[in-house]
Amino acid sequence: MLGFRFLTTRPTDHVVLYKSGRKAREGAGLGGLVFVPTTTAAAVPTDARDDFFSVETMTADYQTVTIQGLITFRIADAGLAVARQDFSIDIKSGRHTGEPMKQIVDRLRGIVMSACREALGRSSLDAALNKSEELSAVAMRTVTADQGLKDDGIAVDRVLVLSVKPAPEIKKALEAKLRETLLREADTALFERRRAATADEHALKMRDEADRQELAATEISNQRTLESERQVLAEAKAATAVIEARSAADTNRERLRPFAELTPEQVIAQALYELGIRGVVPGTLTLGSDIAQAIAQAARPPG
């Protein structure tokens, strides 16, 4: 419409509008009606972008490895970037007329690849395969120190080396070697487990035997203690029985001492008297001839 077009850009694009070759307006996400015949525009993407890279290089022992990684970058200063590189866009479509971001990516890839090649050129294959973190740090230091990137307003947020892979045939050889090592370690671990199990079983048997011996010794000690206590008890009972017997004998002697002063006839008479007092009437009383004669003589009046 009479040469006017409505320009629409993204919020993350820093847009610079030029009229008759002079900067007219600039800002993030700038848009609106522009007069196409006398207006040109440049749009600088300021959002962070990720780009994967892959590079082949040779180690110090002449082995080929492939490095794969990721670069995260952004345009930190849109003013420097638009002054150093062509970010012009077609006002009708809003698209870049060239490929400025691809050119930036190619530059970053080249710098990172050069840093990785230089770092691995002094390392052996075995060392190179374990240098992902070191390569990331080296590449990050290299791109950070690159003055050309600073002058173009480009900032690199991170460089990650994701993998360092050998050539396929070398990889197979390394896998076979690693597999053999793992199998050997597994056999060693199995042997150690069996040896430990045998040692544990032997130790368990020794502990069981020691426990049985200790239990037997404790039982013998308990039996000896019990026998000793039984012997002491028997001796105490025997001593008590002796004392009781002696006491009973003394008691009987004291009880029978008065009878020792009596004649046999008097003893018999006393016995019969005791029976009469207690009311004991024997149904039959048998007296020997000598006892009867002695009673008769005792009952005969003197003279």
Strand 22-28 vs strand 32-35: parallel, antiparallel, or unpaired?
A: unpaired
Q: Are residues 237 and 267 in the same domain?
A: no
Answer yes or no: are the C-beta atoms of 269 and 259 closer than 8 Å: no
pLDDT digit string, tens, across residues 179-230: 788 888 888 888 888 888 888 888 888 888 888 888 888 888 888 888 888 8
What pLDDT shows up at residue 26? 86
- Which residue numbers in the chain have pLDDT < 70? 1-2, 171, 173-175, 259-267, 279-303
How far is Cα 175 from Cα 180, in angstroms, rounded to an integer? 8
157 and 246, same domain (yes or no): no
Place of tokens 């011996």: 213
Q: At what angle do helices 264-278 and 289-299 cross, to 10 degrees?
A: 90
What's the pLDDT at 152?
A: 92
The pLDDT score that the predictor gives to residue 160 is 93
pLDDT at res. 154? 94
Does residue 128 share a domain with residue 33?
yes
Q: What is the mean pLDDT of the chain?
A: 83
DSSP secondary structure, 89-158, as one string: E-TTT--BSS-HHHHHHHHHHHHHHHHHHHHHTTS-HHHHTT-HHHHHHHHHHHHHH-HHHHHTTEEEEE
Per-residue confidence (pLDDT) for residue 301, from 0 to 100: 57
60 and 45 together in one domain: yes
Domain total in the chain: 3
Place of tokens 């009469």: 276
Same domain membership, residue 147 and residue 177: no
CA 209, 213, 219, 225: dihedral to nearest 10 degrees?
-160
pLDDT at 191: 87
Instruction: Note the pLDDT tens digit of each residue in 48-63.
Output: 999 999 988 888 888 8
**Per-residue confidence (pLDDT) for residue 188, from 0 to 100:** 87
Q: Are residues 276 and 137 in the same domain?
A: no
Round the CA-based radius of gyration of the chain to a whole number and report it: 63
Final residue before a domain boundary, out of 125, 144, 166: 166
Looking at the structure, tell me whether residues 127 and 202 fall in a common domain: no
Clarify whether residues 95 and 148 are in a common domain: yes
Same domain, 240 and 153: no
Question: Range of 59's domain?
Answer: 4-166
Asked if residue 24 and residue 122 are part of one domain, the reply reads yes
- 42 with 143, same domain: the answer is yes
> What pTM was estimated for this model as a whole?
0.54
pLDDT of residue 149: 92
What local confidence, expressed as pLDDT, does residue 142 receive? 92
What pLDDT is stored for residue 291 in this prediction? 65
